[in-house]
Amino acid sequence: MKRLRGIWLLPAIVALLVATASGSAQAKIIGLGENQTGSAKSFAFTAKAGHINTPDGSSLLFWGFADTSSGKVQFPGPTLIVKQGDTVTINLTNQLAEPVSMLFPGMTMTSSVKPVIPAGDRSQLTSLAPEAAPGGTQSYTFVADRPGTFYYQSGSNLPVQLRMGLYGAIIVRPSQDGSTRNVDISSHNLNDPLNPGVAATRWPFTRFVYNDSLADPVAENVSTGYDREYLFLVSEMDPKFNSWMEFEKDKVARPFDFSKWKANYWFINGRCAPDTMSPVNAAYLPSQPYNSAPLMHPGETVLLRFVNMGSDPHPFHTHGNHMRVVGEDGNPLSSSAAAGADLSWQAFTLTLQPGKSYDATFTWSGEKLGWDIYGHADALEPYEYIPDHGKIYTPNRPAVAGVAQAPAPPQALPVLLPTIEEGIFGMWYSGSPYMGSAGPLPPGEGGMNPFSGFFYMWHSHAERELTNYNIWPGGLLTMMGIVPWSATISSDDTYNQGM
């Protein structure tokens, strides 16, 4: 999205930095379950109605799940975070006016999975799982025996209940999590901060999507190790449908024509941009507690856990670097149980299909740009790409036979860090010629970019999905922030800040 540079960049970055400055930006996946000890985990959910807010001022009726202890219904439902081998029980109470059930695709159910087929001469399946009647309860138990990214959803009256938001994510951490595996990164030419000027050969990971090969150092192509993780649960809504659900008094006489259902809001973790970049638990989004504000340090590996709970495919694009897709639907992309992610592949854009999950890793080091992204020629930054260090940018003008070209400038401008004046008059100028405008901005608008970070867009490549009910920009979009190692990322394990 070249045209998004400049004018759109500013409010997005302001939003992100405000979120970060308040110390509540999401730097890990938040959810329920990690504070429970033992391998038997129990959750109490209530299905109920609420309203979500969109950045254009709309309010939509939704149905969601509440963590009963807080009572706050949320969109999407609470993310469950459990460990491989855990036995998970969910006690559901239904406060909606119609029966609700829960499905856990990919899990080994140990409670009843009997579908609901009411007796009668025109028997029809009405639910894919045992239901909680209005005002009633139902419990579900499963063993989370496989690691990966999963989801739960309603199994009843699907055309209505899925469109109303009855779903959430499940993360199952592998039994290998917490052990240290060294991944061979000798081919990366990244500066080793412990041994400046020398290329780093090992990167220790302690978190993994799946159980990797036991060899140490682990070959890079089979590791599912990562440093930080972010959830991208994507979905969409047609406000005309939510409005019909809320205000139509006679739904039998005036049914909704589902052939005319057409999405006009697109969400990441239940929020439309730019709310995606607002803080976790923002007071003005009482039913949408999760944000999508990824931050990383150069050289780190970020895990993107994708779940598509909508009914449309969403092509997700990360800019800057490709993602490496290492898993799908809770299965590592491997050729055998022991091989690790050897069938992983590089994605420029990853099309998220409805009802599927994907695990993809992402690394950004500024490598092979042909110029020094840090704009300096002094000491190497941690994990800086060594061959580009100290390089200046020169335009690439391939020779064309028989075509006279104007001579290239003898020396293009190097990438300079902002001066004090630019800090005052161009407050977000990162020093990169590729990010935003370096022109003067009105003084007095906030402060400098405190991280000197690089911020750029992660978004749906279906560009209609970058709107909020036809107002651009918005929708399925957020900004990735790459901040120097000197900047603390909230809940960074190194600093142990926690959420």
Query: Which residues are near Cu ion by CB under 5 A?
Result: 1
Residue nearest to Cu ion (CB): 1
CB of 483 to Cu ion, least distance (A): 21
Look at the chain and count its residues: 499
CB of 480 to Cu ion, least distance (A): 12
Instruction: Name which of 4 and 448 has its Cβ closer to Cu ion.
Output: 4
Q: Mapping DSSP to helix (H, G, I), strand (E, B) and coil, where does residue 37 land?
A: coil
Phi then psi dihedrals of residue 114, to 5 deg: -65, 125
CB of 463 to Cu ion, least distance (A): 9
Residue among 272, 290, 278, 310 at smallest CA distance from 53: 272
Block residue for tokens 């099309």:
351
Instruction: Name which of 51 and 461 has its Cβ closer to Cu ion.
Output: 461
CB of 465 to Cu ion, least distance (A): 12
Q: Which residues pair with 456 in a beta bridge?
A: 480
CB of 426 to Cu ion, least distance (A): 23
d(Cα 131, Cα 52) in Å, to the nearest integer?
25
Q: What is the dihedral of CA 486, 22, 208, 321, to 10 degrees?
A: -70
Instruction: Name which of 207 and 317 has its Cβ closer to Cu ion.
Output: 317
d(Cα 181, Cα 211) in Å, to the nearest integer?
11
CB of 16 to Cu ion, least distance (A): 17
Instruction: Name which of 129 and 462 has its Cβ closer to Cu ion.
Output: 462
Phi then psi dihedrals of residue 248, to 5 deg: -75, 120
Cβ-based neighbours of 372, under 8 Å, separated by 6 or more: 388, 389, 390, 391, 392, 414, 415
Question: Do 446 and 425 form a contact (C-beta atoms < 8 A)?
Answer: no
CB of 4 to Cu ion, least distance (A): 6
ω into residue 473 within 30 of 0, thus cis?
A: yes
d(Cα 321, Cα 366) in Å, to the nearest integer?
9
d(Cα 426, Cα 437) in Å, to the nearest integer?
8
CB of 433 to Cu ion, least distance (A): 18
Instruction: Name which of 311 and 321 has its Cβ closer to Cu ion.
Output: 321
Tokens (6 digits) for 402: 């028989």
CB of 461 to Cu ion, least distance (A): 7
Instruction: Name which of 52 and 435 has its Cβ closer to Cu ion.
Output: 435
Instruction: Name which of 1 and 416 has its Cβ closer to Cu ion.
Output: 1
CB of 459 to Cu ion, least distance (A): 6
d(Cα 235, Cα 231) in Å, to the nearest integer?
13
Instruction: Name which of 1 and 116 has its Cβ closer to Cu ion.
Output: 1
Instruction: Name which of 1 and 143 has its Cβ closer to Cu ion.
Output: 1
CB of 328 to Cu ion, least distance (A): 24
Instruction: Name which of 61 and 479 has its Cβ closer to Cu ion.
Output: 479
Q: At 333, which amino acid appears?
A: L
d(Cα 257, Cα 230) in Å, to the nearest integer?
36
| Torsion sign, CA atoms 295, 476, 158, 350 | negative
Phi then psi dihedrals of residue 108, to 5 deg: -90, 105
DSSP letters spanning 71-95: --EESSPPPEEEETT-EEEEEEEE-
Tokens (6 digits) for 211: 């159980």
Instruction: Name which of 1 and 14 has its Cβ closer to Cu ion.
Output: 1
